[in-house]
Amino acid sequence: MMHSNSKERAKRPTRPSLGAQISITRPGASDDAEIRLIIRIAMGKTITAVMTPEDFALAITGKSDVAASLSLRNLRIEEQSNDQ
């Protein structure tokens, strides 16, 4: 028997999973100016987000939409149209 607050949810189509690794670094031993979040998707293919330590702290403690600059290596971001 299902509880009265339980609803069967419509299943969304699953997207294929893509393996990756993530690194969080501070370049330079005493450089407190930036934090880098590096996502390695495949050999030589990376996405790097650079932000200040203050913005990084806000992001990991729950603040949404924190500013960062992005750089891509051997990748391209394509915008998808909602027109079908």
- 26-42 pLDDT tens trace: 887 666 789 999 999 98
What confidence tens digit (pLDDT) does each residue in 33-70 have? 899 999 999 888 999 999 999 999 999 999 999 999 99
* pLDDT attached to residue 28: 77
φ/ψ (deg, to 5) at 46 = -135, 155
Task: Give the DSSP letter string of the chain.
Answer: ---TT--PPPPPPPPPP---EEEEE-SSSS--S-EEEEEEEETTEEEEEEE-HHHHHHHHTT-SS---EEEEES----PPPS--
* Local confidence band at 3 (pLDDT 50, 70, 90 cut-offs): low
* pLDDT attached to residue 17: 79
Look up the pTM and report it.
0.67
